[in-house]
Amino acid sequence: KRPPNNNHTITQSTTMRILFSSLLIASLTRAARAASVSLDEYRDHYDPAPAAAVEFEDATGVGGGSGEEERNLSGSKGDKGGKGGKAHKASKHVGLEDGFVDLSEDFERDETALAQPLIGRLPVRDNSFLRAALVLENGKIVGKYVRADVNVDDPRAVHSTTKGLISLAIGKLIAEGDLRLDMPLGDIFSDEHWIGDNTDFRKRVTIRELLTMTSGLRGDLSTPPGDSLPEALYSPIVHEDSAKKEYSYLMDNNILSYVIYAITCSKDLWHCKRPIQYFAGSILPSLGVTGIGSCPAGSWNVAHENWSDYGNTDACSDGEFAWFTNEEGFEGATSGMTMTVNVMAKLGQLYLQGGKSAPGPGGEQVVPESWIDQTWTPHVKPPTIVGDNAGGFFWYQLDKDTWFSYGLGGQIIAVNRRLNRVVAMQSDLVGEEEPSQPSIAVIRDIMELTFQLSPYSFDN
């Protein structure tokens, strides 16, 4: 393995290739970088997403929004989005901040609940693909499973769960006033970066459409994610039905990585941050995640060449969190994060806590609560990806109380707000087999268990 490199530096030649950043945001206006953004401004007024969300109300039992008045996404008046943010109100079934924990600390263990082995409580079926699972309730570890051949402290590639987590950075940038959901890519990237055909269509694609996979851009394993900005903008397929703006799965693409870089550069070149730099500086420290590994340029491509070992992180230096990169040194936007199951659980608990790192006035509002609400609002109904589930911002709805972020082979973060429960799970991917339905079945099984005597269990 390469030696640790927590500075996440890249070569001088790579730096020169990406200094386009000062030009990328020339068309961003001061109005687009307002100091605060309301919840309603998350919604594009000419975009059908709100209506689509209402359409799913009958099917899922969950409406398109809370119906609450507009909330300032940067926190309360005078709050810059840091400490002292609002308490989480997303869970309608628990008191304010009940079950909240300080995510910078290790999780406490509920030894009574842990006395019963988790795997022994699950229905009898072939769960041999399951590598590790961690179950939290009220912020405490109530269930744990680690297969005998697995080191739980080793990071594992979480594949498309990356999609669900990179949206944290997008939400934070929107809250900071530097980005908008209805902002088209043509307003972020200047003309010299657009190549090939259908550029007018591609330029009109918005951030919202990328997050809900309704951009009309399509891609599968044969579609390169892009080893440069022009490649990332050009590689997705524009299909004859793309203008319909229906759900179309974009498996791997790096556009949002370049969006993060361009928007952070909008202040000045000294603020430019690649995705891992943004996460390491603005999100992970509040979770107590400081062991950041480094992956060499092109590691994303290498990781995807060998299906039988897909998920191996040996190319990266040691760390509980790392991120595969393209040839230019930019992290993959839709896959490529690697992390321990403990870090997965911490990120899930952050979502459960409405984006707040700890209870009380000392807790930092890492991302706005309203962004979590929007992430867990049904925007579209995917046809087959992980069953018949409504989709939010790269998260999927399992039932009216449970949302999950899903990665290839069963890498899952699931959150149930009614139970105050988080499940983090890592699974094997053998060859090209994809045990999506068995892994989701395990999530359902775990959500149906009772761990603590609390008013949040299904039994009540």
* pLDDT 10s digits, 197-250: 889 999 999 999 999 989 988 877 777 788 899 999 998 888 777 788 888 888
Rounded distance, CA 212 to CA 42, Å? 13
Nearest to 370 by CA among 380, 359, 355: 355
- The pLDDT, as a whole number, for residue 139 is 96
Q: Decide if pLDDT at 3 tops 90.
A: no
**Cα 13-257-395 angle, rounded to 5 deg:** 160
pLDDT band of residue 309 (cuts 50, 70, 90) is low
Average pLDDT over residues 283-301: 89
- The pLDDT, as a whole number, for residue 212 is 92
- The pLDDT, as a whole number, for residue 434 is 53
The 10s digit of each residue's pLDDT in 316-355 is 888 999 999 998 989 999 889 999 999 999 999 999 999 9
Phi, psi angle pair for 398, to nearest 5°: -85, -45
- The pLDDT, as a whole number, for residue 107 is 97
Average pLDDT over residues 271-299: 93
Average pLDDT over residues 410-424: 95
Q: Decide if pLDDT at 359 tops 60.
A: yes
User: Residue 248 to residues 195, 198, 238, 405, 413: CA-CA distances in angstroms?
Assistant: 22, 17, 10, 17, 22
- The pLDDT, as a whole number, for residue 331 is 93
Among 88-97, 393-402, 440-449, which stretch is predicted with the lowest mean pLDDT?
A: 88-97
Whole-number percent of the chain with pLDDT over 70: 71
DSSP letter for each residue of 109-137: E-HHHHTS-HHHHSPSS--TTEEEEEEEE
- The pLDDT, as a whole number, for residue 297 is 85
Angle between helix axes 275-282 and 255-264 (nearest 10 degrees) is 60
Please classify residue 259 by burial: count the beta carbons closer than 10 Å to its beta carbon, then call 0-12 exposed, 13-18 middle and 19+ buried.
Answer: buried
Average pLDDT over residues 396-406: 90
Average pLDDT over residues 429-448: 74
- The pLDDT, as a whole number, for residue 135 is 97
Q: Which residue has the tokens 């040691």?
A: 318
- Kindly give the pairing relationship between strand 237-238 and strand 321-323: unpaired
Among 109-123, 135-149, 216-230, 256-270, which stretch is predicted with the lowest mean pLDDT?
A: 216-230
The 10s digit of each residue's pLDDT in 33-80 is 333 333 233 333 223 333 333 233 322 222 233 333 233 343 333 333
Average pLDDT over residues 402-420: 92
- The pLDDT, as a whole number, for residue 310 is 56
The 10s digit of each residue's pLDDT in 154-167 is 999 998 999 999 99
Rounded distance, CA 258 to CA 188, Å? 10
Q: Decide if pLDDT at 454 tops 80.
A: no
- The pLDDT, as a whole number, for residue 225 is 85
Count of other CB atoms within 10 angstroms of residue 225: 26
Among 15-29, 35-49, 362-376, 443-457, which stretch is predicted with the lowest mean pLDDT?
A: 35-49
Q: What is the mean pLDDT of the chain?
A: 77
Residue type, 130: L
Residues 6+ apart with CB under 8 A from 282: 169, 172, 366
Which of 8-12, 184-188, 304-308, 446-450 shows the highest mean pLDDT?
184-188
